[in-house]
Amino acid sequence: MPAEWEKHMGTWLSWPKDPNTFPGDILPAVEEAYVSMVMTLAKGEDVHILVNDQKTEARVRALLKEADRVTFHHIRTVDVWIRDYGPTYVKGRDLALIKWVFNAWGNKYEDLKHDNESGEAIAESTGLRVFRPGVVLEGGSIDSNGQGTLLTTEQCLLNPNRNPGLGKAELSKVMEENLGTPHTVWLKDGIEGDDTDGHVDDIARFVRPRTIVAAVEPGENDPNHKALEANLRLLRGAVDQDGRSLEVVEIPMPERLSSADTRLPASHLNFYIANRAVLVPTFGGDSDGEAVRILEEQFPDREVAAIDCRALVYGLGTLHCVSQQIPSFGQRAQRNAAASALT
């Protein structure tokens, strides 16, 4: 599994439309965030957008105006969380895909389980070889350094609502065999309000092969404080696939955001690394500027673009959750991607 900062051919997105996820006046604000994402991404790579039909495509084209490097695919989806139901790209002798089973984060949302079929359609559309381990796993639950080390959490992968009967050793073996990651760093719990049961892309991310940015909550009375402190201790004692220690850079959590007395899983760690930019979710608080500054230090060769995600997080995820990178890999992969773009 390549690291996210490795060169992309493009990025997959699914255009938002589910009124259960983004009701009322939330949806137009989410679409504004998507327009910002697409315009920023298209400066450095192709953007592949899933829409349900020609009518939706025409409307989205009007929103994007003269955006270059955008291709539309008529693949029906229920919701936007393509990181979790879409396939994971891997590189070996060629580019290939791992299609995990998506069960809507432990059978929480019956209607969203149909997006497992959407992920299958995406995989088939690429013309690449597809491997199906038959294991429930979401893309947001794992993060790779591209050299054999994977980040994940016990709260998610060991949850009995995913793969009952599979323990840490068995799942580590599954990931090694399918992602080429012989070494896994297991963190504990995710953040409050996260309905995915602790996805790692809200709490810790690789930014270089031996450097991880990690979320911290300075407020000692905040429920996230102890969980993130425990993960920070694990990261400071962790090593990579070669036994070398890791550098850990702290990023503060945003101020608390709530909807109907329920905490929303706002996190600056849910950023997306593109060819020329790093898209960073911001939430209108004091932590926004510091998060952008820290990531500018980590990515001096990329534009660090702040995207207002106060509407998007209403759906319980942000930028990394709604995107999936297409890694670059040789002439054959280029031909397959070109063929896919014509479908």
Q: Is the pLDDT of residue 342 over 70?
A: no
The DSSP output letter for 109 is -
pTM for this entry: 0.95
pLDDT at 341: 45
pLDDT at 338: 44
Alpha-helix runs per DSSP H in 65-133: 82-85, 104-107, 115-125
Q: Which two tokens mark 73? A: 């695919």
Q: pLDDT-derived band of residue 66, with 50, 70 and 90 as boundaries?
A: confident
Q: Which two tokens mark 103? A: 């069960």
| pLDDT mean over 96-125 | 98
- Among 157, 175, 156, 176, CA closest to 166: 157
pLDDT at 7: 98
Active site includes 321?
yes
pLDDT 10s digits, 21-54? 999 999 999 999 999 999 999 999 999 999 999 9
pLDDT 10s digits, 313-322? 999 999 999 9
Q: Which residues pair with 278 in a beta bridge?
A: 273, 304
Other C-beta atoms within 10 Å of 342: how many?
Answer: 6
Residue ranges covered by each domain of the chain: 8-341
pLDDT 10s digits, 127-145? 999 999 999 999 999 999 9
Catalytic residue, candidates 60, 251, 280, 321:
321
Q: Is the pLDDT of residue 154 over 70?
A: yes
Which amino acid type is present at position 314?
Y
Question: Do residues 159 and 222 make contact, with C-beta atoms less than 8 angstroms apart?
Answer: no
d(CA 170, CA 136): 13
pLDDT 10s digits, 77-102? 999 999 999 999 999 999 999 999 99
Domain 8-341: give its CATH code. Answer: 3.75.10.10
pLDDT at 260: 86
Burial class from Cβ neighbours inside 10 Å (0-12, 13-18, 19+) for residue 66 reads: exposed
Average pLDDT of the chain to the nearest whole number: 95
